[in-house]
Amino acid sequence: MRVHLDKIASVTRGLRLQRTVTTTDIIQASAGAVVVGRVRGEKSTYNHLEDVHGRMTVLHDGDVIAGALGHRNALHGYEGVVPDTVSAGDVLNILNLGGVIGRCTSRNPEVGPPFEIELIGQVLAYPEFQSRQPQPASIGLAALTGRNGVPVPPVVYVLGTCMNAGKTAAASTIVRAFSQAGFRVGGAKLTGVSLMRDILSMADYGAEVALDFTDAGVVATSAGNACGVAHAIFSELAARGMDVIVAETGDGIMGEYGVQAILSDPVLRGRGRAFVLCANDPVGVAGGVTMLRERFGIQVDVVAGPATDNRVGVRFVQREFGLPAINARTQARALGEAILERLALPAREGAR
């Protein structure tokens, strides 16, 4: 069946879908399966879809879109799963702005009910050059697999106590500092649910290459796949000649997207030359600093995020933990300089 698409979600970007695709009504009930469906209803909140260029487009009743099956476990958004079986005609939900589709099982009241989407079928791909033999499309068909034997450069980890804790602002600020110091910076988003927004921010701030788990063929990370994704992304950035990697972990250090698995991996943890903790409040700082030290043996180097928005939080961090507390929005230069000093990489020509 030939189907014209009104919108193509960013989760499918690696496949470079055209506006008209061929579909089959046999759908694989697996994460990453690229499906087509028709949006049902209108919404006034959480009503956008990120396209393959990172642009937010408004969804309307009747829009035919391409997305991918996947799960989501967002404290401030939707929780959802891939059903055990999926068929053409089933009504599922759009779980995030990147076009991840599944059955919503719970939601935060602030985002309202999710969009419903009536499935039309699964996209058929033709991965073999000049071959007319199709196969069911999955984002894994375009996944990077990593490189062997390439030394990985120093990594700056930006961790958070929760989603919306200021991680991307901090990561982007640090990227800018290294870029302006003349270094080739790789940006990485290691965990979460598919959305280009964060890596696009890193690119805007000077990352020469910015990759996330969707580039590694994963719709939403978990404890089972997060480490493999991180290894693949780090080796790919290393192969492209990056001097330093700034790696943001989506969600929180106690979330369900695999952050704890990454921090428990001795090789991945050992690549970290600096650890930035972003927190929303003093209790988050206390819990995050303590957990990272006691469970993973990680010493936080800098605290950022809303907990440092004014002198109240800054005093708490300095008094209770003796750590630098630097806000990414109001003290961007100071945050960048603190991490530059922590890594102490050899100076490069072209620094500003």
On whether residue 91 sits in a domain, the answer given is yes
Pair 106, 248 in one domain? no
Q: Is the pLDDT of residue 206 over 90?
A: yes
On whether residue 287 sits in a domain, the answer given is yes
Name the one residue in this structure whose structure tokens are 């598919």. Answer: 194
On whether residue 210 sits in a domain, the answer given is yes
Element (H, E) at 124: strand 116-125
On whether residue 40 sits in a domain, the answer given is yes
Let me know how long the chain is.
352
Exposed/middle/buried for 195, CB within 10 Å: 0-12, 13-18, 19+?
buried
- pTM (predicted TM-score): 0.94
Strand pairing report for 116-125 and 100-107: unpaired
Q: Is the pLDDT of residue 346 over 80?
A: yes
Pair 68, 170 in one domain? no
On whether residue 250 sits in a domain, the answer given is yes
- Among the listed residues 79, 103, 104, 89, the one whose alpha carbon sits nearest the alpha carbon of residue 36: 89
Stretch 272-287: mean pLDDT: 96
Pair 84, 185 in one domain? no
Give 8's strand partners.
66
Q: Do 61 and 133 contact (CB within 8 A), yes or no?
A: no
On whether residue 352 sits in a domain, the answer given is no
Return the CATH number at 338: 3.40.50.300
Stretch 38-47: mean pLDDT: 94
How far does the chain reach from its first CA to its final CA, in angstroms?
55
Amino acid, res. 39: V
Pair 136, 207 in one domain? no
The total of structural domains in the chain comes to: 2
End position of a domain, from candidates 113, 142, 171? 142
Pair 160, 126 in one domain? no
User: How far apart, in whole angstroms, are the C-alpha atoms of residue 260 and residue 252?
Assistant: 9
Average confidence score pLDDT of the chain: 94
Stretch 4-15: mean pLDDT: 97
Stretch 217-222: mean pLDDT: 96
- Cα three-residue angle 190-298-338, rounded to 5 degrees: 80
The Cβ-side half-sphere exposure at 22, using a 13 Å CA radius, reads 8
User: How far apart, in whole angstroms, are the C-alpha atoms of residue 45 and residue 110?
Assistant: 9
User: How far apart, in whole angstroms, are the C-alpha atoms of residue 337 and residue 50?
Assistant: 33
Longest distance between any two alpha carbons in the chain, whole Å:
67
Pair 247, 321 in one domain? yes
User: How far apart, in whole angstroms, are the C-alpha atoms of residue 111 and residue 319?
Assistant: 37
Q: Which residues form the domain of 243?
A: 155-343
Pair 38, 136 in one domain? yes
User: How far apart, in whole angstroms, are the C-alpha atoms of residue 145 and residue 136?
Assistant: 20
On whether residue 10 sits in a domain, the answer given is yes
Stretch 270-280: mean pLDDT: 97
Stretch 138-159: mean pLDDT: 93
Coil vs helix vs strand at 1: coil
Q: Is the pLDDT of residue 352 over 70?
A: no
Stretch 175-203: mean pLDDT: 97
pLDDT of residue 111: 85
Q: Is the pLDDT of residue 351 over 70?
A: no
User: How far apart, in whole angstroms, are the C-alpha atoms of residue 141 and residue 150?
Assistant: 23
Q: Is the pLDDT of residue 74 over 60?
A: yes
User: How far apart, in whole angstroms, are the C-alpha atoms of residue 256 and residue 217?
Assistant: 18
Pair 80, 173 in one domain? no
- Among the listed residues 220, 158, 174, 176, the one whose alpha carbon sits nearest the alpha carbon of residue 195: 220
Pair 283, 326 in one domain? yes
pLDDT band, very low/low/confident/very high, at 207 (cuts 50, 70, 90): very high
User: How far apart, in whole angstroms, are the C-alpha atoms of residue 114 and residue 194?
Assistant: 16
- Cα three-residue angle 38-39-41, rounded to 5 degrees: 140
Cα-based distances in Å from 167 to 173, 254, 296? 10, 15, 20
Pair 179, 325 in one domain? yes
Give, as one character, the DSSP assignment of residue 308: G
Q: Do 193 and 257 contact (CB within 8 A), yes or no?
A: yes
Q: In this predicted model, what pLDDT tens digit does every residue of 98-134 receive, in sequence order?
A: 999 999 999 988 888 999 999 999 999 987 655 678 8
Pair 16, 77 in one domain? yes
End position of a domain, from candidates 120, 142, 164? 142
Coil vs helix vs strand at 196: coil
Cα-based distances in Å from 234 to 41, 154, 216, 267? 41, 10, 11, 11
End position of a domain, from candidates 142, 174, 189? 142
On whether residue 351 sits in a domain, the answer given is no
Pair 202, 301 in one domain? yes
Give 122's strand partners.
24, 35
